[in-house]
Structure 1
């Protein structure tokens, strides 16, 4: 599969891709990738000549177990990782040094960084969030604030002011980031009990979707979020609790195919990502399809040709010019796993209007 506006990154991971993220720096073409092969990879879409094409692998950072999530920190020279070794790690790209910020009591599914509040938040299958101060440096005695959750988190996403945690039992909790940042500032950095704190969420909600949540992604305008399920549906909701705003929420079917005998085959929606400029969003499914949606107009903008395997992760660059697509086997049925097959990273260079909504001016 090749086209004038799409290419495949060189030197992909050797096992399934669990997450990929673009650098938040303006016009940056760097991307980090977490894999089940126990490594985190740093790529640049530009080759040695500065040309965007097949890109180049800059560095790989080995871990003790499969890595489930990764994100950039305050600059693109620091990244944070989470995985099945139960650790949350900071990696200094310039030196290659890895620092364990904290250890959960089970695998760590997600890690996100808030630039506005300078905190790292990790979500683990031990049903807790760890809130880390980035100014703690390499102080190994520094303990995170531990926030108990009512159930296991499956996906987390944040805006400049809010953190959305999608959990088992179809529950979601929305936290005020400023309140979480205040907790970390007040915490005793030498506490031996991990600073476990009961935190009242800003809002608690039940998912609009009837089946297990697979992914949640926040809108760039800090107004709401989209969530997806293992049963081929996406829900779009707004933070504003007013009846007028809540009446706008909706859900729709997607990532379904009709088999030869006429049966509707439903696939999980594994990945969601919002365009930073136009506010549209991309969805990636177990059917190997990526689609772009206008969440306001409630319309599909376009659907790309089918990829060779299921889609495990998608992300837009900070400029919105590029869309990275992780193709990995083992994500067809709504569970992360290891399977034989093609592992590739496709990058689409988008035209100025390719991700623009139908009703956008």
Structure 2
């Protein structure tokens, strides 16, 4: 799928090889008209690669990604407010869309119809599909300070958990869920049987959480998470560390030089782990993506800077493709927003670049 020889080729878009695309990656056609808030590839249950993106233009778009790197727009759905998150069902037949209109809708891709499946009293920040041996449900986190679990066939939640603060970020990798809230709270939930809180973790970061991503151990079981903050720093945190030194933080998305003794520090907007290698990607307000090997504690690669921040990223199910969205994230305020700058989603052949460092 997406072999290096095809996706690594640059012939298709030498014309876009300007400042907008310094890495010469494949450009997704018909991108969103406003900042991209969420990206997700279809799960491994289907052979094809489909990419969905949610945007502040209140729309969710779906593309088919061909092996050549070409993208074909398939369909689009609209909600009443900006989209804050999207996720797939495990069988790839449905897409869930969380919005500022306080609702989550289910988009049935076969019929191209949507129905409301969840509601909160404030914008819905996160949505994740949970596929457990004994149940399937949708987990939603909101700025109304609740986490809700839904059987999407009924209008009331199966379970509501009160959070200490507004939900800012979350991730699910069965049987673990992690939620980061305002006030730098971190809560780990176990999802077996009935979802319940299992641990509260004191944040290793001093500034506001922006993104969280669960990682697995050598036995392919979720073991911990990476947490990104607005202060250009990522924390690697094991839920049950074998050694106190297992947990650490590292700086990223910062300017190299320090003119006048100052260093520019940028928010870490998203983190995702490679599904095969277990290495990770971070993207930031500095308009760069970086690939890291957390076990060797080294950086594998850093991109050239884009015209605008990178807001979201994801890998496809077999780890051949890295998708990243370039759009304004309002980190410098409204005066830096330019309607003239287009939003982009790029696709990169990444399997080799994310291989862990070989141990000498």
Which interval holds the TM-score relative to the shorter structure? 0.7 to 0.9
Distance 1:307 1:360, change over 3 A: farther
Structure 1 runs of 4+ with >6 Å offset = none
- What corresponds to 1:206 in structure 2? 202
**Is it true that 1:174 corresponds to 2:188 in the alignment?**
yes
Q: Deviations over 1:202-249 (max 9, x none)?
A: 000111111000100001431111000000000001121x5x434310
**Cα contact 1:230–1:269 (8 A) shared by 2:** yes
Instruction: Give the deviation of 1:330 after TM superposition.
Output: 2.5
CA–CA distance in structure 2, aligned partners of residues 84 and 144 of structure 1: 22
Distance 1:239 1:360, change over 3 A: farther
CA–CA distance in structure 2, aligned partners of residues 24 and 339 of structure 1: 35
Q: Deviations over 1:1-32 (max 9, x none)?
A: 35897210000000010000011125431011
- What corresponds to 1:67 in structure 2? 83
Instruction: Give the deviation of 1:263 after TM superposition.
Output: 2.2
Report 1:230-245 matches (<5 A).
Answer: 230-240=230-240, 244-245=242-243
- What corresponds to 1:155 in structure 2? 169
- What corresponds to 1:347 in structure 2? 347
**Cα contact 1:285–1:332 (8 A) shared by 2:** no
Report 1:146-295 matches (<5 A).
Answer: 146-180=160-194, 199=196, 201-220=197-216, 221=220, 222-240=222-240, 244-257=242-255, 258=257, 260-295=259-294
**Cα contact 2:23–2:304 (8 A) shared by 1:** no
Q: What TM-score do you get using the length of structure 2 for normalisation?
A: 0.86
SS at match of 2:183: helix
Distance 1:129 1:360, change over 3 A: farther
SS at match of 2:243: helix
SS at match of 2:246: coil
Instruction: Give the deviation of 1:100 after TM superposition.
Output: 1.0
Instruction: Give the deviation of 1:143 after TM superposition.
Output: 3.5
- Structure 1's unaligned 5+ residue stretches are 182-198
Instruction: Give the deviation of 1:333 after TM superposition.
Output: 5.0
Q: What TM-score do you get using the length of structure 1 for normalisation?
A: 0.86
- Structure 2's unaligned 5+ residue stretches are 1-16
- What corresponds to 1:194 in structure 2? none
CA–CA distance in structure 1, aligned partners of residues 330 and 215 of structure 2: 24
SS at match of 1:247: helix
Distance 1:127 1:205, change over 3 A: same
CA–CA distance in structure 2, aligned partners of residues 328 and 93 of structure 1: 26
Q: Which residue of 128, 131, 148 corresponds with 2:146?
A: 128
